[in-house]
Amino acid sequence: MNISKEIYKENNEVLIKKIKEKGFLIAAHRGVWGGNIAQNTLNSTNLAYKFGTDIVEIDVGKSLDNKFFAFHTNKEKTIIGVYKDFEKMKSDEINKYKILNQLFEESNSNVEEFIEIIRNANKDIIFQVDRAERYFPEILDLLCDELSTDYLKRIMIKCSINDRNLDIFEKYQYKFMIMPILRKVDEIKILEKYSNINLIGIEVIAEDKESETFGREFIEKLKEKFNVLIQINAIKLDKNTDLYAGIDDDISLTNHPDKGWGKLLDWGCDIIQTDWAFALDKYRENR
Protein backbone atom coordinates (compact mmCIF):
# COMPACT_ATOMS: atom_id res chain seq x y z
CA MET A 1 0.00 0.00 0.00
CA ASN A 2 1.60 3.21 -1.19
CA ILE A 3 -0.09 5.96 0.80
CA SER A 4 2.78 8.19 1.83
CA LYS A 5 5.54 10.12 0.18
CA GLU A 6 8.78 8.20 -0.28
CA ILE A 7 10.63 10.82 1.76
CA TYR A 8 8.58 9.87 4.85
CA LYS A 9 8.72 6.12 4.30
CA GLU A 10 10.75 5.40 7.46
CA ASN A 11 8.56 7.62 9.64
CA ASN A 12 5.44 5.79 8.50
CA GLU A 13 6.73 2.21 8.26
CA VAL A 14 5.04 0.91 11.42
CA LEU A 15 1.61 2.17 10.40
CA ILE A 16 1.96 1.02 6.79
CA LYS A 17 3.06 -2.47 7.85
CA LYS A 18 0.13 -2.74 10.23
CA ILE A 19 -2.53 -1.76 7.71
CA LYS A 20 -1.07 -4.11 5.11
CA GLU A 21 -1.44 -6.93 7.62
CA LYS A 22 -4.89 -6.02 8.95
CA GLY A 23 -6.75 -4.55 5.96
CA PHE A 24 -8.25 -1.83 8.12
CA LEU A 25 -7.26 -0.52 11.54
CA ILE A 26 -9.13 -0.11 14.80
CA ALA A 27 -8.62 3.02 16.90
CA ALA A 28 -9.84 2.80 20.50
CA HIS A 29 -11.31 6.01 21.91
CA ARG A 30 -9.27 6.81 25.06
CA GLY A 31 -8.27 3.14 25.14
CA VAL A 32 -10.68 0.39 26.19
CA TRP A 33 -12.35 1.37 29.44
CA GLY A 34 -15.46 0.67 31.46
CA GLY A 35 -16.37 -0.88 34.78
CA ASN A 36 -13.49 0.13 37.04
CA ILE A 37 -10.92 0.50 34.24
CA ALA A 38 -10.37 4.23 33.74
CA GLN A 39 -10.06 6.08 30.44
CA ASN A 40 -6.80 7.60 29.17
CA THR A 41 -4.61 5.38 31.37
CA LEU A 42 -1.92 2.77 30.87
CA ASN A 43 -4.46 0.12 31.85
CA SER A 44 -7.00 1.25 29.24
CA THR A 45 -4.21 1.43 26.66
CA ASN A 46 -2.88 -2.07 27.24
CA LEU A 47 -6.41 -3.48 27.54
CA ALA A 48 -7.17 -1.99 24.13
CA TYR A 49 -4.24 -3.91 22.70
CA LYS A 50 -5.48 -7.15 24.28
CA PHE A 51 -8.87 -6.53 22.66
CA GLY A 52 -7.49 -6.23 19.14
CA THR A 53 -6.87 -2.51 18.89
CA ASP A 54 -4.17 -1.17 16.56
CA ILE A 55 -4.32 2.51 17.52
CA VAL A 56 -5.11 4.11 20.87
CA GLU A 57 -6.52 7.63 20.80
CA ILE A 58 -5.19 9.59 23.77
CA ASP A 59 -6.13 13.10 24.90
CA VAL A 60 -3.65 15.66 26.20
CA GLY A 61 -4.12 18.34 28.86
CA LYS A 62 -1.50 20.61 30.44
CA SER A 63 -1.37 21.55 34.11
CA LEU A 64 -0.70 25.05 35.41
CA ASP A 65 2.90 24.01 36.15
CA ASN A 66 3.41 22.79 32.58
CA LYS A 67 3.12 19.04 32.95
CA PHE A 68 1.28 17.09 30.28
CA PHE A 69 -1.33 14.55 31.32
CA ALA A 70 -3.61 12.15 29.47
CA PHE A 71 -6.84 14.03 30.06
CA HIS A 72 -9.79 15.40 28.10
CA THR A 73 -10.03 19.01 29.23
CA ASN A 74 -13.48 20.60 29.67
CA LYS A 75 -14.77 17.25 31.00
CA GLU A 76 -13.45 17.64 34.54
CA LYS A 77 -16.80 16.98 36.24
CA THR A 78 -17.42 13.68 34.50
CA ILE A 79 -13.80 12.47 34.68
CA ILE A 80 -12.59 13.52 38.14
CA GLY A 81 -15.80 14.83 39.68
CA VAL A 82 -14.87 18.50 40.15
CA TYR A 83 -15.97 21.78 38.59
CA LYS A 84 -12.44 23.04 38.05
CA ASP A 85 -10.42 24.03 35.01
CA PHE A 86 -7.77 21.36 34.50
CA GLU A 87 -5.32 23.82 33.00
CA LYS A 88 -5.56 26.03 36.10
CA MET A 89 -4.61 23.23 38.49
CA LYS A 90 -1.04 22.35 39.41
CA SER A 91 0.15 18.79 39.06
CA ASP A 92 0.24 18.11 42.80
CA GLU A 93 -3.49 18.88 42.99
CA ILE A 94 -4.25 16.83 39.88
CA ASN A 95 -2.40 13.88 41.39
CA LYS A 96 -4.82 13.82 44.34
CA TYR A 97 -7.85 12.99 42.19
CA LYS A 98 -9.04 9.54 41.20
CA ILE A 99 -10.64 9.11 37.80
CA LEU A 100 -14.31 8.21 38.11
CA ASN A 101 -15.32 4.76 36.94
CA GLN A 102 -18.38 3.76 34.91
CA LEU A 103 -20.64 4.17 37.97
CA PHE A 104 -19.20 7.65 38.66
CA GLU A 105 -17.42 6.37 41.74
CA GLU A 106 -13.69 6.68 42.32
CA SER A 107 -11.64 4.09 40.43
CA ASN A 108 -8.19 2.89 41.43
CA SER A 109 -6.56 5.15 38.83
CA ASN A 110 -5.13 8.64 39.10
CA VAL A 111 -4.71 10.94 36.13
CA GLU A 112 -1.49 9.79 34.45
CA GLU A 113 1.29 11.66 32.70
CA PHE A 114 0.92 11.51 28.95
CA ILE A 115 4.52 10.65 28.13
CA GLU A 116 4.66 7.84 30.70
CA ILE A 117 1.72 6.06 29.10
CA ILE A 118 3.46 6.11 25.72
CA ARG A 119 6.76 5.02 27.25
CA ASN A 120 5.33 2.07 29.20
CA ALA A 121 2.57 0.79 26.92
CA ASN A 122 2.82 -2.27 24.73
CA LYS A 123 5.38 -1.47 22.02
CA ASP A 124 3.06 -2.58 19.22
CA ILE A 125 0.54 0.20 19.90
CA ILE A 126 0.27 3.26 17.67
CA PHE A 127 -0.88 6.37 19.51
CA GLN A 128 -3.20 8.97 18.04
CA VAL A 129 -2.70 12.16 20.03
CA ASP A 130 -5.82 14.33 20.23
CA ARG A 131 -6.61 17.77 21.68
CA ALA A 132 -2.94 18.74 21.54
CA GLU A 133 -3.05 21.58 19.04
CA ARG A 134 -3.32 24.35 21.62
CA TYR A 135 0.06 23.14 22.90
CA PHE A 136 1.86 23.19 19.52
CA PRO A 137 4.83 23.22 19.17
CA GLU A 138 5.58 22.61 22.87
CA ILE A 139 4.05 19.13 22.90
CA LEU A 140 5.99 18.19 19.75
CA ASP A 141 9.21 19.33 21.42
CA LEU A 142 8.40 17.18 24.46
CA LEU A 143 7.86 14.10 22.34
CA CYS A 144 11.12 14.61 20.43
CA ASP A 145 13.11 15.37 23.58
CA GLU A 146 11.78 12.46 25.63
CA LEU A 147 11.31 9.67 23.10
CA SER A 148 13.51 7.83 20.64
CA THR A 149 12.72 7.56 16.96
CA ASP A 150 11.25 4.09 17.50
CA TYR A 151 8.57 5.68 19.69
CA LEU A 152 8.01 8.63 17.36
CA LYS A 153 7.24 6.23 14.52
CA ARG A 154 4.23 5.09 16.56
CA ILE A 155 2.78 8.54 17.13
CA MET A 156 0.15 10.20 14.96
CA ILE A 157 -1.05 13.73 15.70
CA LYS A 158 -4.64 14.88 15.17
CA CYS A 159 -5.46 18.55 14.65
CA SER A 160 -7.90 20.97 13.09
CA ILE A 161 -7.21 22.12 9.55
CA ASN A 162 -5.94 25.69 9.68
CA ASP A 163 -2.87 27.59 8.58
CA ARG A 164 -1.49 27.95 12.09
CA ASN A 165 -1.39 24.21 12.73
CA LEU A 166 -0.19 23.14 9.31
CA ASP A 167 2.50 25.81 9.16
CA ILE A 168 3.97 24.39 12.38
CA PHE A 169 4.15 20.90 10.87
CA GLU A 170 5.48 22.31 7.59
CA LYS A 171 8.46 23.82 9.40
CA TYR A 172 8.98 21.27 12.16
CA GLN A 173 12.18 19.24 11.84
CA TYR A 174 10.71 15.82 12.67
CA LYS A 175 7.91 14.91 10.32
CA PHE A 176 5.23 13.46 12.57
CA MET A 177 2.44 11.49 10.95
CA ILE A 178 -0.53 13.84 11.03
CA MET A 179 -4.25 13.11 10.81
CA PRO A 180 -6.09 16.43 10.31
CA ILE A 181 -9.80 16.54 11.06
CA LEU A 182 -11.82 17.65 8.04
CA ARG A 183 -15.23 19.13 8.77
CA LYS A 184 -15.86 21.32 5.71
CA VAL A 185 -15.08 20.94 2.02
CA ASP A 186 -13.35 24.33 1.99
CA GLU A 187 -10.65 22.91 4.25
CA ILE A 188 -9.33 20.92 1.27
CA LYS A 189 -7.95 24.17 -0.15
CA ILE A 190 -5.98 24.76 3.04
CA LEU A 191 -4.49 21.26 2.98
CA GLU A 192 -3.44 21.69 -0.64
CA LYS A 193 -1.13 24.57 0.28
CA TYR A 194 1.20 22.42 2.39
CA SER A 195 3.53 20.05 0.56
CA ASN A 196 6.13 19.58 3.31
CA ILE A 197 3.92 17.80 5.84
CA ASN A 198 3.63 14.08 6.52
CA LEU A 199 -0.07 13.87 5.73
CA ILE A 200 -0.73 10.20 6.42
CA GLY A 201 -4.50 10.41 6.83
CA ILE A 202 -7.61 12.54 7.14
CA GLU A 203 -10.41 12.09 9.66
CA VAL A 204 -13.72 13.01 8.04
CA ILE A 205 -16.63 14.45 10.02
CA ALA A 206 -20.17 14.54 8.56
CA GLU A 207 -22.99 15.68 10.83
CA ASP A 208 -25.73 14.31 8.57
CA LYS A 209 -26.31 12.73 5.19
CA GLU A 210 -26.74 16.16 3.60
CA SER A 211 -23.20 17.18 4.56
CA GLU A 212 -20.87 17.74 1.62
CA THR A 213 -18.30 15.60 3.42
CA PHE A 214 -20.60 12.55 3.59
CA GLY A 215 -20.47 9.45 1.45
CA ARG A 216 -18.40 7.16 -0.71
CA GLU A 217 -17.72 9.70 -3.46
CA PHE A 218 -16.22 12.21 -1.06
CA ILE A 219 -13.98 9.58 0.52
CA GLU A 220 -12.80 8.51 -2.93
CA LYS A 221 -12.13 12.14 -3.84
CA LEU A 222 -9.91 12.65 -0.81
CA LYS A 223 -7.97 9.46 -1.47
CA GLU A 224 -7.38 10.38 -5.09
CA LYS A 225 -6.29 13.93 -4.27
CA PHE A 226 -4.08 13.30 -1.23
CA ASN A 227 -3.21 9.56 -1.35
CA VAL A 228 -4.03 9.13 2.36
CA LEU A 229 -5.80 6.84 4.80
CA ILE A 230 -9.33 7.85 5.73
CA GLN A 231 -10.52 7.63 9.32
CA ILE A 232 -14.16 7.76 10.35
CA ASN A 233 -15.40 8.26 13.91
CA ALA A 234 -17.97 5.59 14.72
CA ILE A 235 -18.13 6.66 18.37
CA LYS A 236 -21.47 7.96 19.64
CA LEU A 237 -20.80 10.69 22.18
CA ASP A 238 -24.41 11.41 23.10
CA LYS A 239 -27.93 11.45 21.67
CA ASN A 240 -27.44 14.77 19.89
CA THR A 241 -24.00 14.37 18.34
CA ASP A 242 -23.39 12.56 15.06
CA LEU A 243 -19.80 12.39 13.85
CA TYR A 244 -20.68 10.53 10.67
CA ALA A 245 -24.38 10.85 9.93
CA GLY A 246 -25.54 8.12 12.29
CA ILE A 247 -23.36 5.38 10.81
CA ASP A 248 -21.84 4.52 14.14
CA ASP A 249 -21.16 2.06 16.94
CA ASP A 250 -24.78 2.09 18.07
CA ILE A 251 -26.26 0.84 14.82
CA SER A 252 -23.38 -1.62 14.39
CA LEU A 253 -24.06 -3.18 17.79
CA THR A 254 -27.84 -2.99 18.13
CA ASN A 255 -28.77 -3.71 14.51
CA HIS A 256 -25.99 -5.24 12.42
CA PRO A 257 -22.32 -4.32 11.91
CA ASP A 258 -22.81 -4.39 8.13
CA LYS A 259 -25.09 -1.37 8.48
CA GLY A 260 -22.49 0.59 10.44
CA TRP A 261 -18.86 -0.46 10.38
CA GLY A 262 -19.33 -2.51 7.23
CA LYS A 263 -20.77 0.39 5.27
CA LEU A 264 -17.85 2.61 6.29
CA LEU A 265 -15.39 -0.02 5.10
CA ASP A 266 -17.25 -0.56 1.83
CA TRP A 267 -16.97 3.16 1.16
CA GLY A 268 -13.20 3.13 1.60
CA CYS A 269 -12.63 3.87 5.28
CA ASP A 270 -9.23 2.61 6.45
CA ILE A 271 -9.40 3.39 10.18
CA ILE A 272 -12.49 3.25 12.39
CA GLN A 273 -12.42 4.94 15.77
CA THR A 274 -14.70 3.12 18.20
CA ASP A 275 -15.69 2.64 21.82
CA TRP A 276 -16.21 -1.07 21.12
CA ALA A 277 -12.84 -2.33 19.93
CA PHE A 278 -13.40 -5.96 20.92
CA ALA A 279 -16.63 -6.24 18.92
CA LEU A 280 -15.10 -4.48 15.91
CA ASP A 281 -12.09 -6.80 16.02
CA LYS A 282 -14.42 -9.82 16.01
CA TYR A 283 -16.21 -8.33 13.01
CA ARG A 284 -12.87 -7.85 11.28
CA GLU A 285 -11.97 -11.51 11.87
CA ASN A 286 -15.20 -12.69 10.22
CA ARG A 287 -15.59 -10.09 7.47
Half-sphere exposure of 136 (CA within 13 A, CB side): 23
231 close to 204: Cβ distance less than 8 angstroms: yes
User: Can you list the residues of the chain whose pLDDT is less than 50?
Assistant: none
Which pLDDT value is given to residue 123? 96
How does pLDDT run across 68-109, given as a tens digit for each residue?
999 999 999 999 999 999 999 999 999 999 999 999 999 999
Of the candidates 36, 54, 25, 11, the residue with the CA atom closest to the CA atom of residue 229? 25
Of the candidates 122, 148, 150, the residue with the CA atom closest to the CA atom of residue 56? 122
The one-letter amino acid code at 47 reads L
Which pLDDT value is given to residue 129? 98
How far is residue 65's CA from residue 158's CA, in Å, rounded to a whole number?
Answer: 24
Please state the pTM of the whole predicted model: 0.97
Which pLDDT value is given to residue 3? 74
Domains of the chain: 6-286 (3.20.20.190)
